[in-house]
């Protein structure tokens, strides 16, 4: 396995940053509607929000074209990645995923006793689906696909992924993490949720943290076959960790198409700007279908991270295939300008 994230300078309390470009957050959220919903619902915080949670589940189920029994909610999709890992790997087994990819589920799977079968991405950083299918064996308990992928920002073709999921889910559950799918433009980026209607054993992970701008308000969900949801629900309770106010914020955000369109447009503009500046400065970058861009740097990783932080710019640094990479989230235009001017002087 080749991916390794360098420990950010801020282990412990994070530094005050003028440009927070290290966590792929939405710089424009929460939307006005979500803020209003939080404020108006706070007085009901003495109650458990069961009814409101079920109402939200109904709305999500309708959106995904499934029943409420196909949905499990969580305080962010991290919670569900962890729950799925704990339940699926409590008796060992292996997890198949790309390398590099988002490591949350792999880390928890390993921590409870699983082994990681890491399959290197292809030269264009898409998933090597053929190699991943070949890596599935009798001990495989889950395949994890993050599309678009983090930290690369790369996309795997939707049609090829659909065929892969169709076949492989006959043998083992396939988890498709679609945290950034709403931001993917200019490629075949269909959601794999349509496979649920065909009774395929897929698990779709979605979050309100990115396009809806609710990272700190914490709402996410998985959509899967009811039997899979029941299996997770036997050990852990979905939705129990979500605050009343968060449920209201998520409900308000779900229907807020204007906010999502605004986020998409501004994200596209920031991406265009950063591509232009990286071109001008002679950096190669991986074309991104997300709200972040990954590009190789020559400087020693920790030195770069510290130097950028000293200028008030938070980014992430990864070691991938013996190369140091900077991952910069797409923030506001002012933040991007500060990032570029800092990059030029470190």
Which residues here bind ligand PLP, judged by CB under 6 A? 24, 76-78, 102, 146, 150, 177, 179, 207, 209, 215, 220
Least gap, CB of 324 to ligand PLP (angstroms):
20
CA distances 126 to 120, 148, 158, 327, Å, are 9, 9, 11, 17
Please tell me the distance from the alpha carbon of residue 137 to that of residue 96, in angstroms, as a whole number.
9
Least gap, CB of 227 to ligand PLP (angstroms):
23
- Picking from 201, 175, 5, 4, the residue whose alpha carbon sits closest to that of residue 81 is 175
Which of residues 30 and 220 has its CB atom nearest to ligand PLP in the complex? 220
Residue nearest to ligand PLP (CB): 76
Structure token digits, residue 235 = 């050990």
Least gap, CB of 220 to ligand PLP (angstroms):
4
- Picking from 178, 211, 237, 240, the residue whose alpha carbon sits closest to that of residue 53 is 240
Q: Which own/partner contact pairs does 302-308 have at CB distance under 8 Å and 24+ positions apart?
A: 302/6, 302/9, 304/346, 305/6, 305/8, 305/9, 306/9, 307/342, 307/346, 308/342, 308/343, 308/346
Least gap, CB of 184 to ligand PLP (angstroms):
12
Least gap, CB of 146 to ligand PLP (angstroms):
5
Which of residues 221 and 259 has its CB atom nearest to ligand PLP in the complex? 221
Which of residues 250 and 336 has its CB atom nearest to ligand PLP in the complex? 250
Least gap, CB of 225 to ligand PLP (angstroms):
21
CB atoms within 10 A of CB 241: 14
Please tell me the distance from the alpha carbon of residue 206 to that of residue 159, in angstroms, as a whole number.
19
Which of residues 26 and 225 has its CB atom nearest to ligand PLP in the complex? 26
Instruction: Outline where DSSP puts E strands in 180-240.
Output: 202-207, 220-223
Which of residues 77 and 246 has its CB atom nearest to ligand PLP in the complex? 77
Which of residues 31 and 340 has its CB atom nearest to ligand PLP in the complex? 31
Which of residues 52 and 177 has its CB atom nearest to ligand PLP in the complex? 177
Which of residues 66 and 145 has its CB atom nearest to ligand PLP in the complex? 145
Least gap, CB of 4 to ligand PLP (angstroms):
17
Please tell me the distance from the alpha carbon of residue 29 to that of residue 253, in angstroms, as a whole number.
10
> In a 3-state reduction of DSSP, which class is residue 39?
helix
- Picking from 200, 246, 256, the residue whose alpha carbon sits closest to that of residue 221 is 246
Please tell me the distance from the alpha carbon of residue 104 to that of residue 111, in angstroms, as a whole number.
11
Phi, psi of 328 (to 5 degrees): -115, 125
Least gap, CB of 295 to ligand PLP (angstroms):
18
Q: What is the CA radius of gyration of the chain?
A: 20
Least gap, CB of 67 to ligand PLP (angstroms):
23
CB 77 within 8 A of CB 205: yes
Which of residues 242 and 252 has its CB atom nearest to ligand PLP in the complex? 242
């Amino acid at each position: 396995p080749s991916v390794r994230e360098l420990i950010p300078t801020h282990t412990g309390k994070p530094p005050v940053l003028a440009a927070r470009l290290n966590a792929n957050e939405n710089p424009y959220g929460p939307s006005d509607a979500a803020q209003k919903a939080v404020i108006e619902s706070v007085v009901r915080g003495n109650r458990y929000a069961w009814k409101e949670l079920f109402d939200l589940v109904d709305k999500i189920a309708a959106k995904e074209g499934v029943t409420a029994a196909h949905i499990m909610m969580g305080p962010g999709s991290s919670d569900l990645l962890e729950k799925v890992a704990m339940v699926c790997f409590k008796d060992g087994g292996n997890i198949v995923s790309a390398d590099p990819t988002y490591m949350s589920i792999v880390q928890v799977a390993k921590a409870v006793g699983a082994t990681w079968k890491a399959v290197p991405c292809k030269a264009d950083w898409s998933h090597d689906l053929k190699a991943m299918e070949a890596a599935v064996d009798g001990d495989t308990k889950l395949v994890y696909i993050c599309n678009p992928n983090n930290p690369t920002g790369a996309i795997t073709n939707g049609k090829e992924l659909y065929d892969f999921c169709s076949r492989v889910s006959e043998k083992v559950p396939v988890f498709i993490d679609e945290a950034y799918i709403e931001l993917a433009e200019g490629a075949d980026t269909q959601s794999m949720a349509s496979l649920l209607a065909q009774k395929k054993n897929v698990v779709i992970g979605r979050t309100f943290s990115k396009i809806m701008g609710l990272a700190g308000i914490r709402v996410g969900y998985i959509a899967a076959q009811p039997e899979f949801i029941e299996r997770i629900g036997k050990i852990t309770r979905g939705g129990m960790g979500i605050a009343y106010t968060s449920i209201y914020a998520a409900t308000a955000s779900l229907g807020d198409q204007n906010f999502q369109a605004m986020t998409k447009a501004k994200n596209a503009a920031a991406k265009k700007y950063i591509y232009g500046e990286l071109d001008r400065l002679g950096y190669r970058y991986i074309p991104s279908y997300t709200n972040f861009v990954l590009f190789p740097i020559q400087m020693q990783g920790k030195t770069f991270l510290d130097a950028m932080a000293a200028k008030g710019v938070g980014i992430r640094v990864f070691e991938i295939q013996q190369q140091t990479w900077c991952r910069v989230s797409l923030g506001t235009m002012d933040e991007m300008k500060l990032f570029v001017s800092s990059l030029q002087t470190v």
